[in-house]
C-alpha cells in the first residue's frame, strides 16, 4: 500500500493579513519585513484581504476632534461685544432720561420741576414760565424772537413798534396781540390766544387764531382752530389744572411733570379715558395718588424718573 500524500494546509489570507497588520505597526519592524510584506501583497487574495482589514480599521477609528484654536478668543470677542452693547444701551437710556434736564440747563431762561416763575424782559414784556419749562429770548433785532424749548409759557407782550415771534421747532407764531400761551406736550404743541390775535405758520400751512381760541399743531400739520375757556386754560398760573372732559393721559402727564417724572401708561386705552375736575398742581404727588385711586389705577415709581401706570 502506498502511503497517502500529506495534506497541504491552505493559507488563510485574512489571518495572515491580520498578522502583517500587527507586525507593521510594531516599533521594531525592519525594512526586510516590509519587503517581505510587499512580496506577500503581490498575491491578489492577500492584497484584497489586507485592503478589507485596513478599511475596517479606518471605520473603527474615532474621528479626531476638530481643533478649536479660537475658542477663547471667540468667547472674549462675544463678551466684548455684549459689554459694548450694554454700555451703549445704558448711555442711550441716560441720554433719554436726562436730555430734557440738559436742554433746560442750556437754555437762557428755565424753571425746575414744580417751579413757576414770572420774569420781566428788557422790552417790558412779562413771561410766566410753568414747571420744567425753558425758553430762549433775543430782543436785539427788529423782530423780537422767543424760542420755546420745553414746557409752557404765558406771554404778556409790551407793544413797542416791533414784531414778536415765538418759535416752536419748525413752527413760527407771529404775535399781533398782548396775551397768549404756548405749550409743548409729549405728542403735540398748543397755542392759546387770550387777547388780540396770532398767526401760526408751519411749512405751507397757516392759521389765524383770535382771542378765546386755541389751535393744536404737530410736526405734520396744524389742526382746525377751536374755542377755549380762558379761565380754564390759564388756571395753572395759580397752581390748578382744571380739566373738562380732558384725556386722562394728559392729566397724569401734567401731574408727573410737576414731580420731574415721565409717564409710561401700560394700557393705551387708559390714556384716552375722559376725566373732569380741579387738580392741585402744588401737591402733584398727593393729587396723582387720589386720581389713581379714583380711576382704579396702580402707579409705580421707577428710579426716581419714571411713573409706570397700569
CATH class label, 239-309? alpha beta
Could you tell me the CA-to-CA distances from 272 to 83, 216, 278, 288 in Å, in that order? 40, 17, 18, 17
For 110, 151, 179, 213, 297, the CA distances from 210, given in Å and listed in that order, are 28, 22, 11, 6, 39
The whole-number pLDDT of residue 47 equals 83
* Pairing state between β 152-156 and 143-150: unpaired
pLDDT at 260: 86
Between 35 and 172, where is the model more confident?
Answer: 172
Give 8's DSSP letter. P
Give pLDDT, residue 236: 93
Mean pLDDT computed over every residue of the chain: 83
Do 109 and 119 touch, CB atoms closer than 8 A?
A: yes
Helix (H/G/I), strand (E/B), else coil: 280: strand
Predicted confidence (pLDDT) per residue in 183-223, tens digit: 998 788 999 999 999 999 998 899 999 999 999 999 889 99
Give the pLDDT band of residue 310 (cuts 50, 70, 90).
confident
Cell of 149: 424749548
Residue 195 near residue 179, CB atoms below 8 Å: yes
| Segments of the chain assigned to CATH 2.60.120.1440 | 109-232
Give the three-class secondary structure for 202. Answer: strand
Q: Cα separation of 260 and 100, whole Å?
A: 10
272 or 27, greater pLDDT = 272
**Is CATH 2.60.120.1440 correct for 109-232?**
yes
Question: What does the pLDDT read at residue 61?
Answer: 53
pLDDT tens, residue by residue, 7-63: 344 566 777 777 777 677 666 678 888 888 888 888 888 887 788 767 766 655 545
Where are the extended beta strands (E) located within the chain? 109-110, 117-120, 126-129, 134-138, 143-150, 152-156, 163-168, 171-175, 179-184, 189-195, 197-202, 205-210, 213-217, 226-227, 240-247, 262-265, 274-280, 299-302, 306-309
Q: What are phi and psi of 110, to 5 degrees?
A: -155, 165
Which residues contact residue 123 at a Cβ distance below 8 angstroms, ignoring those fewer than 6 apart? 139, 144, 158, 160, 162
In the chain, residues under CATH classification 3.55.50.30 are: 239-309
What pTM does this model have? 0.66
Residue 110 CA to residue 132 CA, distance in Å, equals 7
Instruction: Please give the pLDDT value at position 4.
Output: 41
Pair 228, 192: CB distance under 8 Å: yes
pLDDT at 1: 41
Please determine, for residue 79, whether its predicted confidence score (pLDDT) is greater than 80: no
Amino acid at each position: 500500500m502506498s502511503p497517502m500524500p500529506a495534506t497541504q494546509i491552505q493559507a488563510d489570507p485574512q489571518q495572515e493579513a491580520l498578522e502583517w497588520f500587527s507586525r507593521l505597526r510594531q516599533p521594531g519592524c525592519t525594512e526586510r519585513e516590509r519587503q517581505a510584506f510587499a512580496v506577500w501583497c503581490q498575491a491578489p487574495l492577500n492584497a484584497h484581504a489586507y485592503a478589507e482589514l485596513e478599511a475596517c480599521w479606518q471605520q473603527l477609528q474615532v474621528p479626531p476632534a476638530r481643533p478649536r484654536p479660537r475658542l477663547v478668543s471667540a468667547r472674549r470677542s462675544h463678551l466684548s461685544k455684549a459689554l459694548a452693547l450694554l454700555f451703549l444701551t445704558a448711555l442711550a437710556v441716560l441720554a433719554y432720561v436726562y436730555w430734557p434736564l440738559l436742554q433746560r440747563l442750556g437754555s437762557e431762561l428755565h424753571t425746575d420741576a414744580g417751579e413757576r416763575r414770572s420774569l420781566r424782559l428788557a422790552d417790558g414784556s412779562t413771561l410766566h414760565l410753568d414747571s420744567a419749562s425753558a425758553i430762549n429770548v433775543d430782543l436785539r433785532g427788529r423782530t423780537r424772537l422767543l424760542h420755546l424749548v420745553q414746557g409752557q409759557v404765558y406771554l404778556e407782550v409790551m407793544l413797542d413798534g416791533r414784531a414778536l415771534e415765538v418759535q416752536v421747532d419748525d413752527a413760527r407764531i407771529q404775535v399781533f396781540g398782548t396775551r397768549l400761551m404756548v405749550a409743548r406736550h409729549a405728542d403735540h404743541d398748543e397755542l392759546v390766544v387770550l387777547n388780540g390775535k396770532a398767526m401760526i405758520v408751519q411749512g405751507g400751512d397757516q392759521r389765524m387764531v383770535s382771542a378765546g381760541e386755541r389751535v393744536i399743531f404737530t410736526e405734520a400739520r396744524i389742526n382746525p382752530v377751536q374755542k377755549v375757556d380762558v379761565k380754564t386754560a390759564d388756571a395753572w398760573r395759580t397752581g390748578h389744572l382744571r380739566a373738562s372732559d380732558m384725556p386722562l393721559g394728559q392729566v397724569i402727564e401734567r401731574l408727573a411733570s410737576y414731580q420731574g417724572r415721565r409717564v409710561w401708561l401700560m394700557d393705551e386705552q387708559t390714556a384716552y379715558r375722559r376725566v373732569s375736575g380741579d387738580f392741585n398742581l402744588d401737591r402733584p404727588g398727593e393729587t396723582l395718588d387720589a386720581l389713581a385711586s379714583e380711576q382704579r389705577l396702580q402707579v409705580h415709581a421707577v428710579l426716581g424718573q419714571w411713573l409706570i401706570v397700569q
